[in-house]
Amino acid sequence: MKTIGILTYQDALNFGAAFQCKALYQFVANNDNRFDVLVLDYANKAIFQKTDSKSVLSNRSIDVKNKIKMLINAALSNIVKRRFAAFYKDVFFSEKILSNEFHKAEQICDYFIIGSDQLWNFELNGGDVNYLLPEINKDKVITYATSIGQEMVPQKYIDIFVNNIRDIKYISVREQTAKLYINRLLLEKEIGLVLDPVFLLERDYWLKYISYGKKKKGVSCYLFHKEFLQETYEIMRKLNIDHASIRKICGGITVKDILNPRVKTGLLYGPTDALNAIYGSEVIFTDSFHCVALSIIYHVDFYVFLTGDLGRDSRIMQLLDIAGLPYRVVQDKFDYTTKIDWKQVDERIGRMRLSSQNYLIEALRSFKYKNIGYYKNE
């Protein structure tokens, strides 16, 4: 049986990365039983920095105070890693592949999916062009919901970027801005616009991770930029919500929060914990794309902060436009009391979900016809 390998940010301790990786794997594995599917366990140095106690203690350039801080972080990180591993328990991974031995990938897999996530954000991944699969025959490659994560690819990577994607038949991206940008680079190519992998799966799939039946009341913050916390508290006051009792899923967590029994923190959360926290919230304040996505899936009321980062903001705004929810963005003239019509949202997302599913299934079928005699029932 032939094998499809998914190349993504599979090993980052990041909830969104884990959600999209698991979703894409599940969709591909569930929709074509004529392929084995695995996730390439690729170690990108910029994304996956390993910190262990031995390396910290032996590093003489680190002072005692920072060594203690790093050792605590390493210990906490090990706990979180185990929770991420539990989330991935039914996902098949390849053997570990280092950046200088990426040739192993072609020995392991027959076909490849690049995606999802910001794999083509070369500032984020340290200029790692392995996410373009430069040594792989492009007849064996498709992309799904791949993101450049910014307005454009940095100039020094343009040539290698164009040369490696121009021969991929099925290129799909997550953001309209990325679609338009790549269309300008490759005038002859049709670029697909699809939903993030978390939307490939129906709501019932994501409900399987919820450990209680009814939603709990409460407010959660899923913020990467702690400067939005004060604005969150101001909105909570306008909504008559007690800001002393709050759940901080990620970002803006302080020692004071950890010591405060009224504040629940996600310091040791794994992906399943984060899903339960999102589902269990009455209201969520966030600047995260994937928190918005899961809030939509779980029908949780949410408010969004835009950061001014064009790449981050554009992917959030496109999702809100698709869902018919641009009014959830916090701005100067803002009606905090507007209710979400979840039936209408589900209908809009459902149409785009079907289009995205069909695109990916068609792309996968393109692999099949390249092995004459292998798919005798086609």
Q: Where are the domains of the chain?
A: 2-200+351-368, 208-340
Query: CA 173, CA 185: separation in Å to the nearest integer?
Result: 14
Return the CATH number of 2-200+351-368, one of 2.60.120, 3.30.429, 3.30.1890, 3.40.50.
3.40.50
Model confidence band, residue 50 (pLDDT cutoffs 50, 70, 90): low
Query: CA 312, CA 308: separation in Å to the nearest integer?
Result: 8
Read off the pLDDT of residues 269-282 as tens digits, 9 standing for 90 and up.
Answer: 999 999 999 998 88
- Percent of the chain at pLDDT above 70? 86
pLDDT of residue 377: 36
Domains 2-200+351-368 and 208-340 share a fold: yes
DSSP annotation of 197 reads: G
Which of the two residues, 243 and 291, has the higher pLDDT score?
291
Which of the two residues, 160 and 12, has the higher pLDDT score?
160
Average pLDDT of the chain to the nearest whole number: 86
Q: Is 204 exposed, middle or buried (0-12, 13-18, 19+ CB in 10 A)?
A: exposed
Residues 302 and 286: beta-carbon distance below 8 Å = yes
User: Is the pLDDT score of 56 beyond 60?
Assistant: no
Q: Which architecture, in CATH terms, is 208-340?
A: 3-Layer(aba) Sandwich (3.40)
Model confidence band, residue 160 (pLDDT cutoffs 50, 70, 90): very high
Q: pTM higher than 0.75, yes or no?
A: yes
User: Is the pLDDT score of 123 beyond 50?
Assistant: yes
Residues 114 and 7: beta-carbon distance below 8 Å = yes
Model confidence band, residue 374 (pLDDT cutoffs 50, 70, 90): very low
Read off the pLDDT of residues 287-338 as tens digits, 9 standing for 90 and up.
Answer: 999 999 999 999 999 999 998 887 788 889 999 999 999 999 998 777 778 8
pLDDT of residue 36: 93
pLDDT of residue 49: 55
